[in-house]
């Protein structure tokens, strides 16, 4: 589920991506994703509002430079599927918040979507919820064996690191700060685990 919205952007004196005084990263916690730079600033701005109306932020991504697209990925807090109405509510809230804070100086496009089945793993709760399922992980810092791209079974996470069992049987602990991206692999087991149960009569 996805909707798009075009906006004219913010004030003329603000740089489009690297903002002075923004921390390099925002701490990982159980329910919010870790992001850096402007993506982290946007996450910090919009997450409380989303939570107040029954949603959880999964990921913020900014694509492109001339007319950037701000991609917002979200879940419903009650774990039911995200609908078009949900995406519209999220879009309106995010637009209102960003229009006030004005972090992007140029025109930009807002894109709101659900996380999908083969979702990114961005929060501690994602790593724990999908323990036992297969994931692909790209690292900024290689493992002790020199690998920066891994595939393995998710074993869980805490606020410091995620744990994965590789196909070789080796178990590795990956600091969240070293993970560039992590995403579930679409398998029959994952599809079955995420199927919506039929409504009771």
**Res 28: pLDDT:** 53
In this predicted structure, which of 32-36, 39-43, 136-140, 181-185 has the lowest mean pLDDT? 32-36
Number of domains within the chain: 2
Looking at the structure, do residues 27 and 98 belong to the same domain, yes or no? yes
For residue 53, being part of any structural domain is answered with yes
Give the model's confidence band at 197: pLDDT under 50 very low, under 70 low, under 90 confident, else very high.
low
Residue where a domain terminates, one of 114, 139, 156:
114
User: Average pLDDT for residues 56-70, to the nearest whole number?
Assistant: 92
Residues 80 and 8 in one domain: yes
| Residue 184 belongs to domain spanning | 124-195
User: Which has the closest alpha carbon to 87: 130, 119, 116, 118?
Assistant: 116
Tokens of 16: 């489009």
DSSP letter, residue 160: S
Q: Confirm whether 19 is domain-assigned.
A: yes
Statement to judge: residues 153 and 77 lie in one domain: no
In a domain, 189, yes or no: yes
Nearest to 89 by CA among 117, 55, 62, 60: 55
In the chain, the DSSP E strands lie at 2-7, 55-63, 69-76, 108-114, 134-139, 149-157, 161-166, 171-175, 179-184
pTM, 2 dp: 0.80
Q: Could you tell me if 54 and 144 lie in one domain?
A: no
pLDDT at 27: 52
In a domain, 201, yes or no: no
Query: 165 in helix, strand or coil?
Result: strand
CB 43 within 8 A of CB 33: yes
pLDDT, tens digit (0-9, with 9 covering 90-100), for 116-160: 999 999 999 999 999 999 999 999 999 988 999 999 999 999 999
């Amino acid at each position: 589920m996805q909707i798009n919205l075009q906006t004219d952007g913010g004030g003329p004196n603000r740089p489009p991506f690297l903002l002075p005084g923004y921390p390099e990263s925002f701490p990982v916690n159980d329910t919010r994703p870790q992001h850096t730079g402007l993506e982290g600033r946007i996450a910090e701005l919009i997450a409380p509002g989303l939570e107040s109306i029954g949603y959880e932020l999964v990921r913020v991504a900014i694509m492109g430079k001339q007319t950037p697209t701000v991609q917002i990925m979200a879940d419903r807090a009650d774990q039911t599927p995200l609908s078009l109405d949900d995406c519209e509510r999220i879009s309106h809230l995010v637009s209102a918040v960003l229009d006030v804070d004005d972090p992007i100086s140029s025109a930009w496009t807002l894109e709101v979507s659900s996380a999908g089945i083969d979702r990114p793993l961005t929060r501690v709760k994602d790593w724990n919820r999908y323990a036992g399922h297969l994931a692909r992980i790209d690292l900024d810092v290689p493992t002790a064996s020199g690998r920066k791209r891994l595939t393995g079974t998710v074993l869980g996470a805490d606020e410091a690191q995620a744990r994965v069992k590789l196909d070789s049987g080796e178990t590795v602990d990956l600091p969240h700060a070293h993970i560039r991206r992590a995403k579930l692999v679409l398998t029959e087991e994952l599809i079955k685990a995420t199927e919506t149960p039929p409504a009771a009569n």
